[in-house]
Chain A
Amino acid sequence: MVEDKTLSSRLFNITNATLLIIVALLCVLPFLHVVAGSFTTSAELAEKKFVIFPTEWSLSAYKYVFSTDTIFRALLVSIFVTTGGTLWSMFLSTLTAYGLSRKDLVGRRIIMFFIVFTLLFNGGMIPTFLVVQQTGLLDSLLALIVPVSINAFNMIILKTFFQNLPPSLEESAKIDGCSDFGILFRIVIPCSMPAIATISLFYAVTYWNTYMHAILYLDDASKWPVQVLLRQIVVLASGMNYDGSVYTEVPPPEQSVKMAVIVVATIPVLLVYPFLQKHFTKGALLGSVKG
Chain B
Amino acid sequence: MNANSNLERQGKPALTKTEKRIALKKSIKKNKWIYLMILPGILYFFIYKYVPMFGLIISFQDYKPYEGIMGSEWVGLEHFKRLFSDPDFWMIFKNTLILFALQIIIFFPIPIILSLMLNEVRQMYFKRSVQTLIYIPHFMSWVIIVSISYVLLTMDNGIVNGTLEAMGKQEVNFLLNPDWFRPMYVLQVIWREAGWGTIIFLAAISAVDVQLYEAARMDGANRFRQMWHITLPAIKGVIIILLILKIGDVLELGFEHVYLLLNASNREVAEIFDTYVYTAGLKQGQFSYSTAVGFFKGLVGLVLVIGANWLAKKAGEEGVY
Complex interface residues of chain B between 110 and 141 (CB less than 8 A to chain A)? 114, 117-118, 120-122, 126, 128-141
Interface stretch (choices B34-42, B75-83, B92-100): B34-42
Q: Is the interface of B mostly helix, strand, loop or mixed?
A: helix
Assembled-state Cα–Cα distance A12/B34 (Å) = 48
B123 vs chain A, min Cβ distance (A): 8
> Is the Cβ of B24 less than 8 Å from the Cβ of A92?
no
Assembled-state Cα–Cα distance A124/B297 (Å) = 13
Does A282 reach chain B (CB closer than 8 Å)? yes
Does A57 reach chain B (CB closer than 8 Å)? no
A124 vs chain B, min Cβ distance (A): 5
Complex interface residues of chain A between 105 and 158 (CB less than 8 A to chain B)? 105-107, 109-124, 126-128, 130-131, 135, 146-150, 152-153, 155-157
Q: Looking at the complex, which one of B27, B118, B159, B203 makes contact with A106 (CB distance below 8 Å)?
A: B27
> Is the Cβ of A198 less than 8 Å from the Cβ of B199?
yes
Does A77 reach chain B (CB closer than 8 Å)? no
Does B237 reach chain A (CB closer than 8 Å)? yes
For chain B, the bracket of interface size reads 35 or more
> Is the Cβ of B37 less than 8 Å from the Cβ of A284?
no
Q: Which residues of B contact A114 (CB under 8 A)?
A: 45, 50
Does B106 reach chain A (CB closer than 8 Å)? no
Q: Which residues of B contact A117 (CB under 8 A)?
A: 302
> Is the Cβ of B148 less than 8 Å from the Cβ of A153?
no
Assembled-state Cα–Cα distance A284/B126 (Å) = 20
> Is the Cβ of B143 less than 8 Å from the Cβ of A198?
no
Q: B124's closest neighbor in chain A, by CB? A: A281
Does B47 reach chain A (CB closer than 8 Å)? yes
Q: Which residues of A contact B37 (CB under 8 A)?
A: 95-96, 98-99, 180-181, 184
Interface stretch (choices A19-27, A67-75, A79-87, A246-254): A19-27
Assembled-state Cα–Cα distance A100/B8 (Å) = 15
Q: Which residues of A contact B33 (CB under 8 A)?
A: 179-181
Q: A27-B137, A150-B41, A164-B237 are in contact. Are A135 and B34 (CB under 8 A)?
A: no
> Is the Cβ of B148 less than 8 Å from the Cβ of A283?
no
Does A173 reach chain B (CB closer than 8 Å)? no
Assembled-state Cα–Cα distance A117/B303 (Å) = 11
Q: Which residues of B contact A284 (CB under 8 A)?
A: 206, 210
Q: Is the interface of A mostly helix, strand, loop or mixed?
A: helix
> Is the Cβ of A1 less than 8 Å from the Cβ of B214?
yes
Q: Which residues of B contact A179 (CB under 8 A)?
A: 33
Does B180 reach chain A (CB closer than 8 Å)? no
Q: Which residues of B contact A155 (CB under 8 A)?
A: 41
> Is the Cβ of A27 less than 8 Å from the Cβ of B148?
no
Assembled-state Cα–Cα distance A130/B148 (Å) = 39
Does A223 reach chain B (CB closer than 8 Å)? no
> Is the Cβ of B120 less than 8 Å from the Cβ of A31?
no
Does B207 reach chain A (CB closer than 8 Å)? yes
B222 vs chain A, min Cβ distance (A): 6
Does B169 reach chain A (CB closer than 8 Å)? no
Q: Which among A24, A123, A135, A171 has the highest number of chain B CB atoms within 10 Å?
A: A123
B133 vs chain A, min Cβ distance (A): 4
Q: B241's closest neighbor in chain A, by CB? A: A160
Does B259 reach chain A (CB closer than 8 Å)? yes
Does B166 reach chain A (CB closer than 8 Å)? no
Q: Which residues of A contact B65 (CB under 8 A)?
A: 126
Give per-residue flags for B14-29: 1 if the beta carbon is below 8 A from chain A beta carbons, else 0: 0000000001101110
> Is the Cβ of B206 less than 8 Å from the Cβ of A194?
yes
> Is the Cβ of B217 less than 8 Å from the Cβ of A118?
no
Q: Looking at the complex, which one of A2, A92, A105, A157 makes contact with B44 (CB distance below 8 Å)?
A: A92
> Is the Cβ of A99 less than 8 Å from the Cβ of B38?
yes
Does A235 reach chain B (CB closer than 8 Å)? yes
Q: Which residues of B contact A50 (CB under 8 A)?
A: 148, 151-152, 159
Assembled-state Cα–Cα distance A120/B304 (Å) = 11
Complex interface residues of chain A between 176 and 209 (CB less than 8 A to chain B)? 179-181, 184, 194-195, 197-198, 201, 205
Q: Looking at the complex, which one of B52, B151, B259 makes contact with A242 (CB distance below 8 Å)?
A: B259
Assembled-state Cα–Cα distance A112/B40 (Å) = 15
> Is the Cβ of A20 less than 8 Å from the Cβ of B203?
no
Q: A29's closest neighbor in chain B, by CB? A: B148
Does B172 reach chain A (CB closer than 8 Å)? no
Does B229 reach chain A (CB closer than 8 Å)? no
Known: A99-B37, A124-B55, A205-B138. 18 other contacts (CB 8 A): A13-B121, A30-B144, A34-B144, A50-B159, A105-B31, A121-B295, A122-B52, A131-B47, A149-B48, A157-B241, A164-B237, A180-B33, A194-B202, A197-B203, A234-B143, A238-B147, A240-B143, A286-B209
> Which 10 residue pairs across A and B have the least CB separation, nearest first?
A127-B55, A96-B41, A123-B52, A283-B206, A123-B55, A112-B321, A99-B38, A106-B27, A127-B52, A194-B203
Question: What are 10 A-to-B residue pairs whose CB atoms are below 8 Å?
Answer: A1-B210, A3-B122, A9-B223, A104-B4, A106-B27, A114-B45, A116-B321, A120-B302, A127-B53, A242-B259
